[in-house]
Copies of this chain bind each other. A is one copy, B any other.
Amino acid sequence: MPAKGADLSAHRETADVVVVGGGVIGLSVAWRAAQQGQQVVLADPQPGLGATHAAAGMLTPIAEAAYAEREIFGLGQDSLRRYPDFVAELQAATGLPTGFRQAGTLQVAYDSDDLAVLTETRLLLESFGVHLQQLTARECRAAEPMLDPSVRAGLLAPADGSVDPRLLAAALLRAAEQAGAHLVRQSVTEIRSAAGRADGVRLADDSVVHARWIVLAAGWQSAAIAGLPTGIAPPVRPVKGQIIRLRTTATTDADGVPPGLLQRTVRGIVRGSSVYLVPRDSGELVVGATQEELGADMTVTAGGVWELLRDARTLVPGITELEIADIVAGLRPGTPDNAPVIGPCELPGLVFATGHFRAGVLLAPVTADTVAAYLRTGTPDPGWRPFAATRFGVRGVSPPGSPGPEVAERAAAGMQVEEAATAWR
């Protein structure tokens, strides 16, 4: 393990691991890899300012994917179980808060159609062996007095939690740097390969960092990075989400109502439309999130904000008194089946940790732990199987002007290249 912060210039030429992307996934991987003594370079021009910045921070492993629902739910549960230790370790190492709370999630239904969807969710979870507590309308209001009287029923998941993703990212960056990881505030412009193996990256200033492992954790931008052999880019696309951060000016707690109005995360379906409200101890209440397929569009729109406020105030009328502290749009990395892409791929040395869509914050601990283990042992985690990039077949097209290395031809021909990934199938 290198001396902390020593001999690590922006132009260092070699590392054990280059992590491409400093969102909550890349930061967590960098921290864990540095902790196990690997020399880590983390490249991101603006760490923490991508999808992480616009995330609400719900830690709610509800299966929302069209694919591998049980496996995704299991991965989320696994990650949620790791969270208390993960944030405790982080806070002990850095002294920084993460806003972690474990107050549960109450999922509620507003009308009878919504109730039908809630029932489906309950039956799905029961098919996974998870039995959540069903609450009547009265019990919902007893649990959360600020809920609208029209709320019909609820499902209580007491172990669910939340973090403040902006605090989490700041703590992770500090922890990673303390563990010896070196942050380079630059974009990666190219993945480089030699002899059929990824062996480094090119940075925006044209310098090159060579490394044994390249971890691609660049969120929705992971698909467009130059230098990937044809057909292996992870099939991620930007899915826009808008969130609103509300806050109270009052810090007092007059009638036992917390400053952010709620005790726990409330998710709801309001006339078919999904909304969630995540309280923070600071008194902030985060309302999210829209889900829009508009390409790399980051504008905050009248319609998105109106829908969020409409649905949030339907469930919790008291939000109308709260101040709007912030409205942001972010681009989550969606995949064709809404499940993440984790693990090695056809190009040896290249490891994916992307496509986490709306679950990046939840899945950060399990992703980081298992990726770090792989970087140490070379043995893929068995739990990754449903999340292998190869499930999508030949993927994407390399950007023009970036002819892939030798392996690209092999990949295009369907030859031999799968060997790198099949070891752990």
Task: State in angstroms the CA–CA spacing of A246 and B299 once bound together.
Answer: 11
Task: State in angstroms the CA–CA spacing of A405 and B321 once bound together.
Answer: 43
Determine the interface band of chain A, counting residues with CB < 8 A from chain B: 20 to 34
Within 8 A of B (CB), among A302-317: 302-306, 309-310, 312-313
Query: A309-B309, A310-B310 given as contacts; is B303 within 8 A of A320 (CB)?
Result: yes
Query: A309-B306, A324-B305, A324-B327 given as contacts; is B249 within 8 A of A299 (CB)?
Result: yes
Report whether over half of chain A's contact residues are helix, strand or loop; otherwise say mixed. Answer: helix
User: When the two chains form their complex, are residues B313 and A302 in contact, meaning their CB atoms are under 8 A apart?
Assistant: yes
Answer yes or no: A379 CB below 8 A from chain B CBs.
Answer: no
Answer yes or no: A301 CB below 8 A from chain B CBs.
Answer: yes
Q: Which residues of B contact A305 (CB under 8 A)?
A: 305, 309, 324
**Could you list 19 examples of A-B contacts with CB < 8 Å?**
A244-B302, A246-B302, A299-B323, A300-B323, A300-B324, A301-B321, A301-B324, A302-B309, A302-B312, A302-B320, A302-B321, A302-B324, A303-B313, A303-B320, A303-B321, A306-B306, A306-B309, A306-B310, A324-B327
Task: Kindly list 18 other residue pairs between chains A and B, CB separation below 8 angstroms, not including A244-B302, A302-B313, A324-B327.
Answer: A299-B323, A299-B324, A300-B323, A300-B324, A301-B321, A301-B324, A302-B309, A302-B312, A302-B319, A302-B320, A302-B322, A302-B323, A302-B324, A303-B320, A305-B305, A305-B309, A306-B309, A306-B313
Q: Which residues of B contact A301 (CB under 8 A)?
A: 320-324
A residues near B, CB below 8 A? 244, 246, 249, 299-306, 309-310, 312-313, 319-324, 327
Return the chain B residue nearest A242 by Cβ: B324
Task: Say how far A27's CB is from chain B's closest CB, in angstroms.
Answer: 30
Task: Say how far A292's CB is from chain B's closest CB, in angstroms.
Answer: 11
Copies of chain A in the complex: 2
User: When the two chains form their complex, are residues A320 and B299 in contact, meaning their CB atoms are under 8 A apart?
Assistant: no
